[in-house]
Amino acid sequence: MDRWLEQADLPARVNTLSAVECGEECLPLYCFETGSTKPDAPVVIFTGGVHGVERIGTQVILSFMNTIFNRMDWDESLHSLLKDVRLLFVPLVNPVGMLKRTRSNGNGVDLMRNAPIEAMGKVPFLLGGQRMSSHIPWYRGRKGDPMQRESAALLQLVENVVADSRFVISLDCHSGFGHQDQVWFPYAFTPDPFDDIGEMFALRLLFRRTHPTFSFYLIEPQSRNYTTHGDLWDYVYRETLHKRKGTYLPLTLEMGSWLWVKKNPLQLFNALGVFNPVLPHRHERVLRRHQCLMEFLIRATASYKNWLPHPVDRREWMHQAIEYWY
């Protein structure tokens, strides 16, 4: 990121969303912004590094940014695409966690369990979020405390965007759960469907139809895997529900890291091996594997008017989605 920031002709505007203390230092949360400056333009937000040990999420985003920035030098079709859509990249949401090699942030809080939202019904022990100790993973923070600075910065960013834009997608890149790459959408706190479920079903159909050979992504609500307290994207989605102009689909890419461990069990002895591909060829494969999905999300967002369910048909789409997923 620093290398890009030094460039005089960086094809992006850079904002510092927030900064977090780490010893004597202050580490910034950078947001790189490119594409349309029209306030109501549709927006894609790419985020990564919410969990400090999941370095691959940040690397996937940096690698994709590299592709986009380099194409800007020569690819006229990209310039014409970016007239219709704005891209926001926050590659590293939890810089202290990544520096210290911890899942949590500098205060020992898991940013994915920190939002003020309680799960309905039982959650898995510890994994679903706990308030016992910051020395145990999945710590939610003290009850009643304000949200951590990193989570609050993301909420603020989405709030600003959805207030003007008619269509917004966010993709938050994680790793460490399952044998398969999964694309999750809300909710995590309840097994009930979220309001934009019909639109989500339409996006899934569009992707399946356009890229049938990318069938390795399992696309489903997070609650089908497990429910949690304090999910950041549940909270961001619900907080912005009545403040926004149009559709907002918060997606999480959960890269199936158990597959990398299965193929190379020795990496269990590497501190970060449970969450990241270790062998160079596999690392490179993961970096390129998700570029098609990210490119698809940009194109689907730029042309959302051509596939998003018409308000008249919304109920029918919701019905189909509920039949399929619930």
Least CB distance to Zn ion at residue 53 (A): 8
**Among the listed residues 55, 86, 174, 290, the single contact to Zn ion using CB under 5 A:** 174
Strand intervals (E) in 167-326: 167-175, 182-185, 218-221, 247-255
Q: Does 113 bind Zn ion (CB under 5 A)?
A: no
Question: Closest by alpha carbon to 252, among 221, 214, 215, 206?
Answer: 221
Pick the piece of the chain touching Zn ion (CB under 5 A) from 30-38, 171-179, 196-204, 208-216: 171-179
Query: Helix (H, G, I), strand (E, B), or coil: what is residue 101?
Result: coil
Least CB distance to Zn ion at residue 112 (A): 6
Query: Helix (H, G, I), strand (E, B), or coil: what is residue 305?
Result: helix
Residue placing its CB nearer to Zn ion in the complex, 174 or 204: 174
Residue 264, sorted as left (phi over 0), alpha (psi -120 to 50) or beta, turns out to be: beta
Pick the piece of the chain touching Zn ion (CB under 5 A) from 47-55, 151-159, 225-233, 287-295: 47-55
**Among the listed residues 51, 55, 113, 204, the single contact to Zn ion using CB under 5 A:** 51
The amino acid at 286: V
Starting at the edge strand found earlier in the chain, the sheet holding 247-255 runs 13-22, 25-35, 86-90, 43-48, 167-175, 247-255, 182-185, 218-221
Q: Check if the beta carbon of residue 107 is closer than 8 Å to that of residue 147.
A: no
Strand intervals (E) in 121-266: 167-175, 182-185, 218-221, 247-255
Least CB distance to Zn ion at residue 252 (A): 8
Pick the piece of the chain touching Zn ion (CB under 5 A) from 19-27, 130-138, 174-182, 199-207: 174-182
* 271 CB burial (10 A radius; 0-12, 13-18, 19+): exposed
Gap between the Cα atoms of 110 and 99, Å rounded: 15
Least CB distance to Zn ion at residue 176 (A): 6
Residue placing its CB nearer to Zn ion in the complex, 116 or 178: 178
Least CB distance to Zn ion at residue 203 (A): 22
Pick the piece of the chain touching Zn ion (CB under 5 A) from 9-17, 51-59, 91-99, 120-128: 51-59
Least CB distance to Zn ion at residue 54 (A): 5
Gap between the Cα atoms of 202 and 233, Å rounded: 20
Residue placing its CB nearer to Zn ion in the complex, 93 or 203: 93
Residue placing its CB nearer to Zn ion in the complex, 49 or 198: 49
Question: For Zn ion, how many residues bind (rule: CB under 5 A)?
Answer: 3
Site for Zn ion in 68-97 (CB under 5 A): none
Residue placing its CB nearer to Zn ion in the complex, 186 or 309: 186
Element (H, E) at 32: strand 25-35
CB atoms near residue 125 (< 10 Å): 8
* 3 CB burial (10 A radius; 0-12, 13-18, 19+): exposed
Pick the piece of the chain touching Zn ion (CB under 5 A) from 13-21, 35-43, 74-82, 169-177: 169-177
Pick the piece of the chain touching Zn ion (CB under 5 A) from 22-30, 53-61, 217-225, 294-302: 53-61
Residue placing its CB nearer to Zn ion in the complex, 54 or 150: 54
List residues near Zn ion by CB under 5 A. 51, 54, 174
